[in-house]
Amino acid sequence: MCDACGCDLKPEESHDAKVIEVHQSLLAANTAMAAKNRAHIEAMGAVAINMISSPGSGKTTLLEKTIEALGDSLRIGVIEGDIETERDAERIRAKGVPVIQLTTGGACHLDAAQIHKGLHLLAREDGGDRLDILFIENVGNLVCPATFDLGEHHRMVMVSVPEGPDKPAKYPKAFHSSQLFVISKTDLLPYFDFSVDAAKAEALQLNPAIEVMDLSATSGEGFGQWLDHVRDLCSRG
């Protein structure tokens, strides 16, 4: 007899309950869309870099300086992600490259569906459909963006000197899933208790394969290795 309502059904039949084995990733839909984005980006002739870091660590400034240095030799495009405002896109547009701004309206990360939309919007911009490299500046956040594949070929995580060297240990997913770790604002090292070696060691312990570089977009120190890295990605693509 059924325990719940006292009916005559056998327990296995009661309430017509059924257990369905699913074993499917919640991220499956995002991953499938990311694969389409990757093919779309490759069809544009480009490789894509997903830039993940905290707000204010210098993603937009790094992009501005990169466009100044490489804009004549590479076709660069940018997708900007922010919760609100067009401000980052306006800064990039001023450098003369195709850019679109995605505003997430509160969401703390970009996902593959937003990038799909972004790629179509970017194609309407002058030169936005043929690129060598596409930079995707994610929403400033070291946590949530790490979970979502956008269809990028290369993921970088950046930490600026004022944030402190303990970020790899505190935000492991971002460092696990990235191929490049950039320490930015090294011109501020004299004013902060930040050990570049300690930050590198923490990142390498989490992800022995991660490439690490430190630079200052303001002073230009270490910037050459970053530009080489970008050129190298484009030639591999």
Q: Does 12 bind other proteins (CB under 8 A)?
A: no
Three-class secondary structure of residue 96 per DSSP: coil
**Tokens coding 42:** 């490759």
Q: Is residue 178 part of the contact set for other proteins (CB under 8 A)? A: no
Q: Which is nearer to other proteins, 111 or 163 (CB)?
A: 111
Segment near other proteins (CB under 8 A); pick from 20-28, 122-130, 191-199, 226-234: 20-28
Measured between alpha carbons, how far is 217 from 221 in angstroms, rounded to an integer? 7
C-alpha distances in Å from residue 160, one per residue of 20, 62, 99, 142, 169: 47, 11, 24, 12, 15
Is there binding between residue 112 and other proteins (CB under 8 A)?
Answer: no
Among 195, 205, 219, 225, indicate the residue that binds other proteins (CB under 8 A).
Answer: 205
- Contacts of residue 134, defined as CB under 8 A and 6 or more positions apart, other chains included, come to 41, 44, 46, 47, 48, 49, 76, 77, 78, 79, 122
Collapsing DSSP to helix, strand or coil, 49 comes out as strand
Q: Is 54 in the site for other proteins (CB under 8 A)?
A: no
Q: Using the rule CB under 8 A, is 85 a contact of other proteins?
A: no
| Candidates 12-20, 38-46, 87-95, 122-130; binding stretch for other proteins (CB under 8 A) | 12-20
Dihedral-angle region of residue 154 (phi above 0 means left; psi in -120 to 50 means alpha; beta otherwise) = beta
- Binding segment (CB under 8 A) for other proteins, from list 24-32, 60-68, 121-129, 226-234: 24-32
CB of 107 to other proteins, least distance (A): 6
Mode of pairing for the β-strands spanning 133-137 and 47-53 = parallel
Q: How far is the CB of 3 from other proteins (least distance, A)?
A: 14
Candidates 9-17, 118-126, 157-165, 187-195: pick the segment binding other proteins (CB under 8 A). 9-17
The answer to whether 22 contacts other proteins (rule: CB under 8 A) is yes
Q: Is 56 helix (H, G, I), strand (E, B) or coil?
A: coil
Query: What does the alpha-carbon distance between residue 165 and residue 199 come to, in Å, rounded to a whole number?
Result: 5
**Does 176 interact with other proteins (rule: CB under 8 A)?**
yes
- 15 near other proteins (CB under 8 A): yes
Mapped onto helix, strand or coil, the DSSP state of residue 59 is: helix
Among 3, 23, 190, 193, binds other proteins (CB under 8 A): 23
* Contact residues for other proteins, defined by CB under 8 A: 15-27, 29-30, 107-109, 111, 143-144, 146-148, 172-174, 176-177, 204-205, 207-208
